[in-house]
A and B are shown apart, each in its own frame.
Chain A
Amino acid sequence: MNYQILAPGTFSALQVSLDPGDKILTEAGTMAWMDPSIQVKTSSGGLMAGLRRAVLRGDSFFQNEYTSTAQGGKITLVAGQPGEIKAMELRGAPVILERGAYLAHTPGVSVDAKFNGLKGFFAEGLFVVYATGEGTLFYNAYGDILEVDVQGDYIVDNGYAVAWESSLNYTVTRTGRKIRTFLFGDGLVIRFSGHGKVWVQSRSAFSLANFMHPFRAIESKNS
């Protein structure tokens, strides 16, 4: 198996080339185009794991497994939002992904939703995605992905965190103590401490949705 990130930058797409015996596991709904030699098998990865993924992570229930019957069969995967796609080589140490950042992985990696405890209650979802094992993990973001090497403490707005190394401790808190901070301004942030890398995206889907909201038509009272 080999891969190439097509048009890296604003409109990235991931192209994976598979030989017979190779396999790539993907987030459902991300296949954009593929050769006819590519075969798909949809699995929930075991009922409980699938349920947890669907109900609690907020992503789709099913994970797709792609194989090829011919040498060098190509499949292209794209996320919903414009932005970067990146690959990460995992060597055992787990990486944590925010909801929606997961795109695909090779068979040596195992991916599971994990209950984040109450500290995740105000976060984007109750659950984050844990990726462990050995292999390649593909993740995506809205905007550019910037790497921050945390040595000590660092703060990232909840809407912009993409992924981080599990060597970091983290808590979700408010930025200020005052109520107006919560009501009107900066919301929740993730406070990291320790040593490790954090990946941050440069745009927020929440901000865009906020911008779009006033453009929606208003429901009439008697309908």
Chain B
Amino acid sequence: MKASVIGTDSFQSLHVELSPGERFYSEAGKMVRCSSGVDIEVTLQKKGGGFMGALKRLLSSDSFFYSRYTAQGTGTSEVVIAPTMMGNVRVLELKGDETWITSGGSYLASGPEITSEAKWQGLGAGLLSGESLMFVHNRGIGFLAVEAFGTIHEVDVNGEFVVDTGHLVAFESSLSFTVGKVGGSWIKSFFSGEGFVMNFKGTGKLLMQSHNGSSFGGLLGPLLPKRRS
């Protein structure tokens, strides 16, 4: 199995090469194209999944379902998976001794031995951050692909670091965080328009996206006709 990023900066996609019998998972409904020998099945189940797992995933802004791609036939098969927004894809190779936490629908795809479990990010933190209530904890051996809106920026945190909740893509579980405001009082934070931020602490890698999907949605949503429900 070989997972790589293809395409130009603005429109990157994930390309996965499969040998016969190999399989991987993506968020449901994200496939662009594939070899004809690939069996595609939509499933609730993934390692560490199940119905409750699926329910929790919904609260993490990810899809309720996974698509499972299994290569059949004799030759090498390919599958291409695309993100929703314009922007980058990053492939992380997990060795088994770390956990990557993905936020707000940034989980795109993963190898068969990766478990992805939605967990409460702490009730208060979730409600206050205005983002999803759940983060997805990914661990195991294999690849994990994340999607982003815009460019992905990586930071090696050693000490403290502050990220706006809408710009977070993924981080290593060696980092702890609290949800807070951008200095000053809560009221000041509200009027500054900065909303909520995550204060990270510890040592580990952090991936951020240049653009905030909720801000873009907030810009376009009011310009669109009202919806019934």
The residue among A144, A191, A218 with the most chain B CB atoms within 10 A of its own CB is A144
Q: Are B84 and A211 in contact (CB under 8 A)?
A: yes
Tally A residues with Cβ within 8 Å of B.
Answer: 42
Q: Which residues of A contact B220 (CB under 8 A)?
A: 212, 215
Q: Which residues of B contact A176 (CB under 8 A)?
A: 40-42
Q: Which residues of B contact A186 (CB under 8 A)?
A: 28-29, 31, 40, 42, 67
How far is it, in angstroms, between the C-alpha of A94 and the C-alpha of B225 when the chains are bound?
Answer: 39
Shortest CB distance B113–A (Å) = 22
Q: Which residues of B contact A202 (CB under 8 A)?
A: 7, 11-13, 32, 82
- Which of A57-65, A102-110, A116-124, A154-162 is found at the contact surface with chain B? A154-162
Interface residue tally of chain B, by bracket? 35 or more
Q: Are B229 and A218 in contact (CB under 8 A)?
A: yes
A178 CB-CB contact with B under 8 Å: yes
A52 CB-CB contact with B under 8 Å: no
Q: Are B221 and A217 in contact (CB under 8 A)?
A: yes
Q: Which residues of B contact A144 (CB under 8 A)?
A: 7-8, 11
**CB-nearest residue of chain A to B214:** A215
Q: Are B217 and A215 in contact (CB under 8 A)?
A: yes
Q: Are B28 and A212 in contact (CB under 8 A)?
A: no
**Which chain B residues (179-229) contact chain A, with CB distance < 8 Å?**
213-214, 217-218, 220-222, 224-229
Q: Are A217 and B222 in contact (CB under 8 A)?
A: yes
Q: Are A203 and B11 in contact (CB under 8 A)?
A: yes
Q: Are B42 and A10 in contact (CB under 8 A)?
A: no
Shortest CB distance A93–B (Å) = 22
Q: Are B84 and A207 in contact (CB under 8 A)?
A: yes
How far is it, in angstroms, between the C-alpha of A149 and the C-alpha of B185 when the chains are bound?
Answer: 60
How far is it, in angstroms, between the C-alpha of A156 and the C-alpha of B35 when the chains are bound?
Answer: 9
Of the candidates B10, B32, B38, B213, which one forms a contact with A9 in the assembled complex, judged by CB atoms under 8 Å apart? Answer: B10
B65 CB-CB contact with A under 8 Å: yes
A44 CB-CB contact with B under 8 Å: no
How far is it, in angstroms, between the C-alpha of A148 and the C-alpha of B224 when the chains are bound?
Answer: 36
A43 CB-CB contact with B under 8 Å: no
Q: Which residues of B contact A4 (CB under 8 A)?
A: none
The residue among A9, A148, A157, A191 with the most chain B CB atoms within 10 A of its own CB is A157
Of the candidates A9, A154, A215, which one forms a contact with B218 in the assembled complex, judged by CB atoms under 8 Å apart? Answer: A215
B47 CB-CB contact with A under 8 Å: no
Q: Which residues of A contact B161 (CB under 8 A)?
A: none
Of the candidates A156, A175, A184, A203, which one forms a contact with B40 in the assembled complex, judged by CB atoms under 8 Å apart? Answer: A175
How far is it, in angstroms, between the C-alpha of A210 and the C-alpha of B222 when the chains are bound?
Answer: 15
Of the candidates B9, B64, B217, B222, which one forms a contact with A214 in the assembled complex, judged by CB atoms under 8 Å apart? Answer: B217
Shortest CB distance B20–A (Å) = 16
Q: Which residues of B contact A184 (CB under 8 A)?
A: 28-29, 42, 63-65
A71 CB-CB contact with B under 8 Å: no
Q: Are A216 and B7 in contact (CB under 8 A)?
A: no
A185 CB-CB contact with B under 8 Å: yes
Q: Are A216 and B33 in contact (CB under 8 A)?
A: no
A136 CB-CB contact with B under 8 Å: no
Q: Which residues of B contact A9 (CB under 8 A)?
A: 8, 10
How far is it, in angstroms, between the C-alpha of A180 and the C-alpha of B9 when the chains are bound?
Answer: 34
A125 CB-CB contact with B under 8 Å: no
Of the candidates A187, A193, A213, which one forms a contact with B227 in the assembled complex, judged by CB atoms under 8 Å apart? Answer: A213
B76 CB-CB contact with A under 8 Å: no
Apart from A215-B224, A218-B229, what 6 extra A-B contacts exist at CB < 8 Å? Answer: A82-B86, A143-B7, A143-B11, A156-B33, A216-B225, A217-B222
11 contacts between A and B (CB under 8 A): A144-B11, A178-B41, A184-B65, A185-B29, A186-B67, A187-B29, A204-B82, A211-B85, A212-B224, A214-B217, A216-B224
